Chains A and B, each alone.
Chain A
Amino acid sequence: MIVLKTARELAYMRDAGRIVAETLQEMEKAVKPGVTTAELDAKAEDYIRQQGAKPSFKGYQGFPATICSSINEQVVHGIPGLRKLENGDIISIDVGASVNDYHGDAAITVPVGEIDAELQRLLDVTRQSLHVGIEQARIGNRLFDISHAIQEYVEDNRFSVVRQFVGHGIGKKMHEEPQVPNYGPAGRGPRLQAGMTLAIEPMVNAGTWEVETKEDQWTVVTKDMKPSAHFEHTIAITDDGPEILTRTRGA
């Protein structure tokens, strides 16, 4: 069942989304060579709690932290720890927070120091594919119009989209229906309606789309160990088009 949100629910989600976006802004400032992912995690948790919100991931199906930190060939769901960021790495940071039990969820991938041009292209294409997808999140379109637009953009740029992990509906639960794949045929899936809220999150690999989960049961890596990037926004479908909920005030 896809839950359509009321104006009041959307207001909570806008609050949660803003806090998530601000947390990511803090993360972007904090990422530099020598910093550990556990330090980033602590900073994110402090920020979210200071705002009176709750970290959505901590304890979710046993996930131990506030952020997912995924470096280089790690695709998503990396667990923060003592690994230090190095010059030339890329790190994906995924954060969720809730206000009055309504969740916001977003992710960015940022360079650590100087990265090579092809890695930068991977980040740019992934970020742009998210926006190409969001552009399709309009009343009357179908869900897979979003999926198809992302896949087409990514593959035209000679990268691949992860199949095994997908975006999702979001609201009072962090994961609601529908699933939002980043691939698929246009013109299929449920029709989009005002009040739907979706977390759209392309995971884009430099090499093969295939991924596997490590022994910790969380960290997902590319099968060919080539780098992967991840960008995500929580959006609402409104009469005026897609509204990005996970953004900072004034952005």
Chain B
Amino acid sequence: MAVGQVTPGQLVLSRNGRDQNRYFLVLKILDPDYLLIADGRYRKVDTPKKKKVKHLQLTELVVAEIGEMLQQGKTPTNTQVDSAIRQLLETVEVGL
């Protein structure tokens, strides 16, 4: 039975810390416990937040284009991240 894993471009919700209840995209998986996340607004892509996985709620949503860019070693712009999050939140019911 396989283990579910966080993937770059995945939408996550902060559950603990001063950024509580904000949505972010995963930029990088540092190790099984820590991720780098950004939302393009509160946390910019060039200064992403290092966050513990257990302080986040993971969603099933992944922004494919941003995921692909990250896999190829490219960094998305703040605008791209911000608008991708907004678009996701507007168009879908976020299942947590």
Where the two chains meet, the residues of A that have a C-beta atom closer than 8 Å to any C-beta of B are 56-57, 60, 63, 68, 76-77, 94, 96, 105, 163-168, 174-175, 177-179, 181, 201, 203, 210, 212-213, 230
Contact = CB atoms under 8 A, between A and B. Distances in A.
Given A163-B7, A177-B32, A213 B60 contact: yes
A168 B4 CA distance: 10
13 contacts: A68-B1, A77-B1, A77-B2, A94-B2, A165-B3, A166-B3, A166-B5, A174-B1, A175-B3, A179-B3, A210-B62, A210-B64, A212-B60
Contacts, number: 46
B62 A167 contact: no
B2 A203 contact: yes
B5 A179 contact: yes
A96 B7 CA distance: 26
A116 to B, nearest CB: 26
Contacts of B2: 76-77, 94, 165-168, 201, 203, 230
Contacts of A165: 2-5
A126 B46 CA distance: 38
A96 B64 CA distance: 32
B95 to A, nearest CB: 8
| In the A-B complex, the 7 residue pairs with the closest CB atoms | A165-B2, A168-B3, A166-B5, A163-B7, A164-B7, A76-B2, A213-B60
A197 B64 CA distance: 33
Interface in B60-89: 60, 62, 64
Contacts of A175: 1, 3
Interface in B1-59: 1-5, 7, 32
B1 A96 contact: yes
Contacts of A60: 1
A6 to B, nearest CB: 24
Contacts of B7: 163-164
Contacts of A179: 3, 5, 32
